[in-house]
A and B are shown apart, each in its own frame.
Chain A
């Protein structure tokens, strides 16, 4: 999860680095902690840090973590040469480490050598069967080749063992959504909601999956989860506000409405008012467009 304060901190550090006087170690640490994918920046500043002998010697043993981070960033930016140097340095330092073996496998993946990568992961898994990250890499291999149903199968097997891994549940939900298997995706989001009931974005995801499935019952539930997203995000999440409006519109077109729903369109009009206010504050030139869209939804 990345909160507002975290996001501001990352942006501040990035700006400082751009102007040339930022703390690279702090930035890299924060990116690691928040699990952000800012590969280009990590690569650029990380390599500069590793090229600077005096800064490097100050890091002590942390330098190997940074080698690993830079290697992954280099793979993500398709800079295989830098990645190779990092992996080689790590292999010399830790020849028997499972973590470095995983990195080597990722390097194979980046080159498209799926079988070799898979072989590396398999051989390490035999020694350390409960290394969750290696299992996840095997899912990623299928995903990278576009074999989504195999990826889903592997991931389900993984989740049988590591049920509390909510990132894996989120990944499974994403895979199901891209295969248009919305009911299964909804199940994954239910698991996520149980794991982190305070996370507004999981409420939003669940609501969106239910809205996509459609049907009166699902729309009603979706509206409730959109509403809870609004509550948890302090009314700042525009997607949830639009969602409430759209659910209200879809429900008003069905005939199976309860009397309460017919009379009570308060939530919808309140959400519409907030959307309009946000647009007037932040993008005044689009406010007219938004108000006409919202007006159409009412009628």
Chain B
């Protein structure tokens, strides 16, 4: 868990470094009066590495995956909810009252 967090932080750092070096690269291009074609290969590599690290952290840090299939062990419907809107009270429960006393304290 902590390792995953560190990986994510590292990914963000690498990304920040890539941003910084791109800005510096463009600054130096302006000085040399050249056109910007694309970022240097080192920056592209950094982007890829940071993408990988951030992906890793985003998939691992929030927790494990939950099953979404209907027939998965955890998702299986075991019982329908009791329809409380239609519940009636003159049932056999009247003859078998619960075996405990409850009382409101005023």
Interface of A toward B, CB cutoff 8 Å: 1-7, 34-37, 39-40, 43-44, 47-48, 50-51, 72, 74-79, 82, 85, 106, 109-110, 112, 132-133, 136-137, 139-140, 143-144, 167-168, 170-171, 198-201, 231-234, 236
**11 extra interface residue pairs, beta carbon distance < 8 Å, beyond A35-B82, A35-B84, A77-B98:** A2-B81, A5-B75, A39-B93, A47-B104, A82-B104, A109-B88, A110-B90, A167-B86, A170-B80, A171-B86, A233-B76
Let me know if B102 and A44 touch, CB within 8 A: yes
Cβ-Cβ contact count across A and B, 8 Å cutoff? 119
- Give the top 4 A-B pairs by smallest Cβ distance, nearest first: A35-B81, A234-B71, A37-B82, A144-B88
B32 close to A (CB within 8 Å) = no
Let me know if A3 and B75 touch, CB within 8 A: yes
The A contact surface, by secondary structure, is: helix
Q: Report the minimum CB–CB distance from A187 to chain B (whole Å).
A: 18
Let me know if A144 and B90 touch, CB within 8 A: yes
* A201 cross-chain contacts in B, Cβ below 8 A: 77, 79-80
Let me know if A76 and B76 touch, CB within 8 A: no
Let me know if B70 and A82 touch, CB within 8 A: no
Q: Report the minimum CB–CB distance from A73 to chain B (whole Å).
A: 10
Q: Report the minimum CB–CB distance from A120 to chain B (whole Å).
A: 15
Partner of A139, one of B75, B86, B90: B86
With A and B bound together, what is the CA distance between A279 and B59 in angstroms? 40
Within 8 A of A (CB), among B66-106: 70-90, 93-94, 97-98, 100, 102-105
* A4 cross-chain contacts in B, Cβ below 8 A: 73-76, 78
The B contact surface, by secondary structure, is: loop
A7 nearest in chain B by CB position: B78
Q: Report the minimum CB–CB distance from A61 to chain B (whole Å).
A: 20
A39 nearest in chain B by CB position: B93
Let me know if B80 and A1 touch, CB within 8 A: yes
Of A35, A78, A136, A231, the most chain B CB neighbours within 10 A belong to A78
* B84 cross-chain contacts in A, Cβ below 8 A: 35, 37, 72
Q: Report the minimum CB–CB distance from B76 to chain A (whole Å).
A: 5
With A and B bound together, what is the CA distance between A192 and B71 in angstroms? 19
The answer to whether residues A78 and B86 also contact, given A34-B81, A44-B102 and a CB cut-off of 8 A, is no
